[in-house]
Every structure is written in C-alpha cells, then in structure tokens.
Amino acid sequence: MKVTRIGRHLGARIDGVDLSAPPGAATLDAIEAAFHEHGVIAISDQRLDEPRLIEFSRHFGELELNVASSFHHAKFAHVNVLSNKRTPEGKLVGSPDAGQGWHTDMSYNPTPARASILYALEVPMREGRPLGDTLFASMTAAWEALDPALQRRLMGLRAVHHFSKFYDYMIREKGSPRPPLTEQQKATKPPVVHPMAVRHPFTGRLCLYCDPGYTVEIPGLPAAESRALLEELFEFQTRPEFQYRHVWRVGDVLMWDNVATIHMATGGYGAEEHRLMWRTQVLGDAARFRAANAAAGAA
C-alpha cells in the first residue's frame, strides 16, 4: 500500500490496495489513518460490486438511507446512483446533477456525518481529458486561518442546517430534474442546530462547521447580522488556498471527511459524456461526537 499526498491541505491517492476481497485489519487501519490525515483519499483501480462497496463502507460506521429515494440502487437501498445516463426508454438511471454548489453531506442530520464514499464506474471524457472534477475545501485549514477574535466569537455560536435549502437550490438554480421533496420527506428532516466550531471526533482538531449548501441562520443574532456573518464565512471557507481538486479516474473509490471538508461538483460534461458512480454515506457516531464537543453544547 502506497499513500501519495496530492494537495496542500487535503487529498491523497492510495495505490496497491484491492478492495474486491475483504482487506485485512492492518490494511483497513492504514486506510483509516490516511483518511484522518488527508481528509480526502482516492483508492485507485478498484473493481467492486455493490456488496463489496457496502462492506468496505460499513467498516467506518452505519450507512445513511437517503431520504430522497428517487435514485436509490434498485437492489441495494444504501447505494445511491449518480449518473446522467438513460435507459432505452429515456429514464435517468441516477441523479444527474451531482451537487453543483458548495456543501457538506448530511450536515442536516442531528449528528454530523462521518464520511461519503463515491465509486467511479464511468468518468465523462472529452479529447482524452476527464471531466466532472470535484472540489474540496479544508475546514481545519479555514478555521486555523481565521482571525483569533473571530474564532473566539464563533466558539460561542451555533448555526441552523436545513436539508431542503440545497435540494431546492439545485432545482431552482441548476435546473435539476430531481423531483421536489414531498411534505412527508421534509417532515423526516427538520432543521438541526450545530456548533459553528466543531472539534473533530477522531482527530481532535477544530473545524469551521457551516456551509453554503445547508446552513441557513445563526440563532441569537439579528437576521441581518446572521446573514452578513454567514456570507463572510462562506466566502472565506471557499478560498482557493484551502482547496483540493480531484480529477477522476475510472475505478477510483473516493472517500471524504464530512466534518473536516466541504465540497462541490464542477459538472461541465454533456448528456452524451457519460458519468456513472455509486455512493454510500457513513453516519456520525452520536456518542463520540457529543464527547468531543461537550464544551460547545453539542446536541
């Protein structure tokens, strides 16, 4: 197993690992250590079926069953399909819009999520160049770069995260064909509140925990002040110096930390430039998160 750092704050590529047979404990521990160190890891050249992807993902925790069920895998509900491909009848085989806006997955859950895992079966290409890169930004680096006075202020603040904010944005602003959420789906994901400075439950490092996709307000502040502070933070946390750009390869198993990073898809490929990926999402450990963030009053 070889781990090669790619980005300044985020990103590493792992070669020499085959996940198609269950890895041994030492290999899994090494992958987990690389994940904690680099925030985003790409395990190269994999050939997985759905059960193997699920088995690998479950090593890191319980899996999310996404409330927007339109693009669950037909046989494996914990696998979501991301694709712009269509059946012969013209039906999309997966979610085609790929989250084209900065966000962090599942910040709308009562406990912040641990990880997302995306397995690339087909990568869109044009003139030999892969399309559809994914951008990541380090929230540990962003936190450490904040003015100390702002850090102290944020240590006492919490923010509201709302599932429908980003979902509705993708329909309204990006023309996503995803179906609108039903009232029943909305009811399963009410707004949640999290500290704006989160201590990572595994690394112990402080992270800026808000994102343009799901964060809607800061309780206790006047509305105008809340909006201004969030806009300032959204602009700051997405600065280029905090970013890593992942260029996809077929066979990549990409895993990213949903506390320590935010991300966005870049899109930029046409309907005939096919993309097909399977995604699993690893939930956070509520007890571990509470223990790490007790001083911040984490729920």
How many Å apart are CA 196 and CA 24, to the nearest integer? 37
Q: Who wins on pLDDT, 66 or 80?
A: 80
How many Å apart are CA 205 and CA 211, to the nearest integer? 18
Confidence check: pLDDT of 225 > 80: yes
- 276 and 122 in contact (C-beta within 8 Å)? yes
* First vs last C-alpha separation in the chain: 38
Confidence check: pLDDT of 296 > 70: no
pTM: 0.92
- Supply the mean pLDDT for the chain: 92
Q: What angle do CA 294, 298, 299 make, to 5 degrees?
A: 125
Measured in whole angstroms, the distance separating CA 185 from the mean position of its chain's CA atoms is 21
How many Å apart are CA 232 and CA 227, to the nearest integer? 9
Confidence check: pLDDT of 172 > 90: no
41 phi and psi, to 5 degrees?
-130, 140
Q: Which of 35-44, 64-73, 161-170, 174-183 has the lowest mean pLDDT?
A: 174-183
Query: In this predicted structure, what is the pLDDT of residue 298?
Result: 47
Task: Provide the CATH number for the domain around residue 83.
Answer: 3.60.130.10
| Pair of tokens at residue 273 | 């430039």
What is the percentage of the chain residues whose pLDDT exceeds 90?
A: 79
pLDDT digits (tens, 9 = 90+) for 244-294: 999 999 999 999 999 999 999 999 999 999 999 999 999 999 999 999 998
Total Cβ atoms within 10 A of residue 254: 23
Q: Which of 35-49, 132-146, 157-171 has the lowest mean pLDDT?
A: 157-171
| Mean pLDDT in residue range 85-91 | 92
Measured in whole angstroms, the distance separating CA 163 from the mean position of its chain's CA atoms is 14
β-strand 243-246 against 12-15: which pairing, if any? unpaired
Confidence check: pLDDT of 205 > 50: yes
Confidence check: pLDDT of 98 > 80: no
pLDDT band at 67 (very low <50, low <70, confident <90, very high): low
How many Å apart are CA 56 and CA 266, to the nearest integer? 27
| Pair of tokens at residue 252 | 């990549």
Q: Which of 29-33, 176-180, 284-288 has the lowest mean pLDDT?
A: 176-180
Query: In this predicted structure, what is the pLDDT of residue 47?
Result: 97
Within the chain, strands assigned E span 2-5, 12-15, 40-43, 80-83, 115-122, 125-126, 129-130, 134-138, 158-161, 192-195, 197-199, 206-208, 215-217, 243-246, 253-257, 261-265, 276-282
Q: Which domain holds residue 85?
A: 2-296
Query: In this predicted structure, what is the pLDDT of residue 151?
Result: 97
| Pair of tokens at residue 229 | 């502070």
Query: In this predicted structure, what is the pLDDT of residue 299?
Result: 42
| Pair of tokens at residue 114 | 């641990």
| Pair of tokens at residue 106 | 């599942």
- 213 and 103 in contact (C-beta within 8 Å)? yes
How many Å apart are CA 81 and CA 73, to the nearest integer? 6
User: How far from 153 is each of 150, 181, 195, 197, 229, CA to CA, in Å?
Assistant: 5, 35, 12, 10, 11
Q: Which of 67-71, 124-128, 177-181, 283-287 has the lowest mean pLDDT?
A: 67-71
What is the percentage of the chain residues whose pLDDT exceeds 70?
A: 91
Domain count, the chain: 1
Query: In this predicted structure, what is the pLDDT of residue 189?
Result: 77
